[in-house]
Amino acid sequence: MRNHLMGFTLLLASALLAFSAPAQGDPLPSWNDGDAKTAIIEFVERVTDEGSPDFVPVYERIATFDNDGTLWSEQPLYFQVIFALDQVKAKAADHPEWATTEPFKSAIAGDMEGLMKTGMAGLAKVMGASHTDVTADEFAASVNNWLDTARHPTTGKRYDEMVFQPMLELLEYLRESGFKTFIVSGGGIDFMRVFAERVYGIPPEQVVGSSIDARFEMRDGVPTIIKEGKGLFVDDKAGKPAGIYRHIGRRPLFAGGNSDGDLQMVQYTTMPRGPEDTTPRFGLFVHHTDADREFAYDTPSHIGEFKEAAKLAPENGWLVVDMKNDWKLVYPD
């Protein structure tokens, strides 16, 4: 009994120690030692060391990250699209007309080829069925419910378990180093805000994404926000710097993405505004090279194409992370 108790106490103590000081010694334990890890740590030390000529005050330490393909997986489809398809299936019984009308017919049948044939207009209708003309609270509840019940088709994991452990460590390392971390993603802002705080430690007000107009009204005496179907803002490509300007209002010091959709955000972050602009800034791209542990794709690809940004990375000094070789593990254990 006493031995058991002592063993348990030691176990508890070591667990507590591990919890309270995860980064002591190595702030990025899931990254293999090598150039990628070294480049990140050297950059963070340069801008946070008060004795360094490159020191940057805390209030300027803004870090922005794409979500799909950068912080979590995005295959075989953006997870938000899978959510939208699942919602259409769940609502099909209430919409008998969908059985014979595209794009819903293909969506319900799981016929991706048929769905793709309906084009962007079809996809917008599928997204609209779950994302528009719904109150903010109803929408958040539907995302929460989906995360709790849906499983990824090939890994069998919860979707919010398919986040990248090395990137979680990077977010935490940056925050411990005085950075304010933001998501800047082509994904829907209201979708991501449901899990960003719990999964990434990023509060709702630090999530920037694609959005549609929200309308306020008093509904039976209760203040209510309704997600309308109008005013789509696409927070992708040139929309990302525009979204950063609108939501954050200042230039990041660190930006990370994985595809050409993140090119302009990384350009906006890192490229000097003139000869006197010498503050070092960090651009990072996650390269999906790991078919065994995750997925391998870059170009051509129907999702997350990484072509133009890959070409421009060397001359701009952007770090390209080789998922297969730079990461000890992909998903949290």
Cβ–Cβ < 8 Å for 225, 235: no
Instruction: Compute the distance between CA of residue 245 and CA of residue 239 in angstroms, rounded to an integer.
Output: 10
Among 5, 24, 59, 300, binds a copy of itself (CB under 8 A): 59
In single-letter form, the type of residue at position 96 comes to P
Closer Cβ to a copy of itself, 93 or 222, answer by number: 222
Residues 6 or more apart in contact with residue 48 via CB below 8 angstroms: 55, 56, 61, 177, 178
User: Could you tell me where the beta strands, DSSP code E, fall in 238-315?
Assistant: 254-257, 282-289, 296-297
**268 counts as binding a copy of itself under rule CB under 8 A:** yes
Q: Which is nearer to a copy of itself, 96 or 249 (CB)?
A: 249
Is 166 a binder of a copy of itself (CB under 8 A)? no
Among 99-107, 113-121, 159-167, 243-251, the segment contacting a copy of itself (CB under 8 A): 243-251
Q: Is 240 in the site for a copy of itself (CB under 8 A)?
A: yes
Confirm or reject binding of residue 287 to a copy of itself (CB under 8 A): no
Q: Mind giving me the DSSP string for 154-204?
A: TT---GGG-B-HHHHHHHHHHHHTTPEEEEEEEEEHHHHHHHHHHHHS--G
3-11, 83-91, 166-174, 189-197 -> range binding a copy of itself (CB under 8 A)? 189-197
User: Considering only 6-14, 67-75, 109-117, 185-193, which stretch makes contact with a copy of itself by CB under 8 A?
Assistant: 185-193
Q: Could you give the angle at which helices 263-270 and 239-247 cross, rounded to 10 degrees? A: 60
**259, two tokens:** 């595809």
For residue 260, state whether it binds a copy of itself (rule: CB under 8 A). no
For residue 207, state whether it binds a copy of itself (rule: CB under 8 A): yes
Say whether residue 217 binds a copy of itself (CB under 8 A). Answer: yes
The encoded tokens of residue 140 equal 């958040």
Q: Is 210 in the site for a copy of itself (CB under 8 A)?
A: no
Give the strand pairing for 180-188 and 207-210.
parallel
| Number of chain residues interacting with a copy of itself (CB under 8 A) | 43
Q: Which residues form the interface with a copy of itself (CB under 8 A)? A: 59, 62, 136-137, 180, 182, 189-190, 193, 197, 203-207, 211, 213-218, 221-223, 225, 238-242, 245-250, 264, 267-268, 271, 273-274
